[in-house]
Amino acid sequence: MAKVIEGLYYSESHEYVRVEGDFGFIGITDYAQNALGNVVYVDIPEVDDEVMAGEEFGAVESVKAASDLISPVSGTVVEVNEALDDQPELVNQDAFANWIIKVEMSDKAELDNLMDAKAYAAFCEK
């Protein structure tokens, strides 16, 4: 069973958001990194790029597959996890510690469209 952390918001496309004030740290879930296998590349947007809820903002490539990253919330990218440029495998080691982008959210009400940990765990079991 994949690890699910309380207090985060989850999307059906297996991204999470960790909220700190007006900022959201977005990454892929433990379930997603398990499904992908060994991550070899993370395509990350630039700082100041706009992301839109439900739209692609990058991709994760593994030895098995490539998967688009779908933003769970809208906002402006204020920071990227540059460690993933040289060490994309960090996502496999701890998907929740190794977020991909930090965004200043433009509409926190979008969080209401996401699942809590309990709902996401049930979703993953289907």
In tens digits, what is the pLDDT along the chain, a chain of 126 residues? 689 999 999 999 999 999 999 999 999 999 999 999 999 999 999 999 999 999 999 999 999 889 999 999 999 999 999 999 999 999 999 999 999 999 999 999 999 999 999 999 999 998
How far apart, in whole angstroms, are the C-alpha atoms of residue 35 and residue 29? Answer: 10
The pLDDT, as a whole number, for residue 58 is: 97
The pLDDT, as a whole number, for residue 2 is: 84
Burial class (CB in 10 A: 0-12, 13-18, 19+), 108: middle
Q: Phi and psi for 2 in degrees, rounded to 5?
A: -70, 150
How far apart, in whole angstroms, are the C-alpha atoms of residue 112 and residue 121? Answer: 17
Cα 62 to Cα 43, 58, 82, 104, 106: the distances in Å are 12, 14, 18, 28, 31
**Which single residue is written with the structure tokens 């960790």?**
18
The pLDDT, as a whole number, for residue 59 is: 97
Indicate yes or no: pTM above 0.85.
yes
Instruction: Tokens for 7, please give them.
Output: 């207090």
The pLDDT, as a whole number, for residue 126 is: 87
The pLDDT, as a whole number, for residue 78 is: 98
